[in-house]
Amino acid sequence: MAGHANFRAATLSDTHPLRSILSQDHHKGTRPHPCAISQMSEAFKRKVKGTVMEIDRHLLELTESFEPVASEAQPGARLMDRFSDQVIFDDCGSLLEQDALEARKHELFTILRNVRLSDDTVYCSVDASLPDNAQHQAVLAAILYQKFEEFNRVCHVAGRVTAPDAELFAICSAITLATQQDNCEKIYIFMDSIASAR
């Protein structure tokens, strides 16, 4: 996940402001900023940590060429463009009142009971966690069930990414594993980050 985030910088236009703070190899003709990596001494570069340093260090690992605007990312080709009638988001909103919380719990138990009775449904629970300390990396977990049986449990290191990216990686991991299961026609994902799913 962190690798994908680093390589995303390769799609930036030649005049993007980020180019001016990268090293000489990645400037693409822009004038270096006074605080750019290309202006730092080697000793200072070893001391500086952060996202921009990670991007600069890993951009050289990108060996394949790709278009900044891929055809599959164009409007009309994305999941929600093609299958919007088959994807349902059950957003509960804010549950500040105790009665609303109890009603929501009852509703979720009803959904879970119905899902467990279906032979062609996989249901998953996913979550991601970001550490308070920047020295550590984000992690994600997914647990997958069919009927009453747990059939897979995964935990991945997502790298140094944002919370929405880590949550999205957790959702992608669950969907990938669920679609590999025989007789999977429906997938239910329980999560606490509806914004990442949308």
pLDDT in tens, the chain (198 residues): 666 666 677 777 777 787 788 887 777 777 888 888 888 888 888 888 877 788 777 777 766 666 666 676 677 767 677 777 777 777 776 666 778 888 888 888 998 899 899 888 888 988 888 888 777 888 889 999 988 888 889 988 887 788 888 888 888 888 888 888 888 888 888 888 776 666
**95-197: CATH architecture:** 2-Layer Sandwich (3.30)
Is 23 within 8 Å of 56 (Cβ atoms)? yes
29, burial (CB in 10 Å: exposed 0-12, middle 13-18, buried 19+)? exposed
Domain segments of the chain as ranges: 2-73, 95-197
Residue linked to tokens 């990670």? 54
**pTM of the model as a whole:** 0.59
Strand ranges (DSSP E) for 55-170? 121-129, 138-146, 149-159
The residues with which 155 forms a beta bridge, in sequence order, are 141
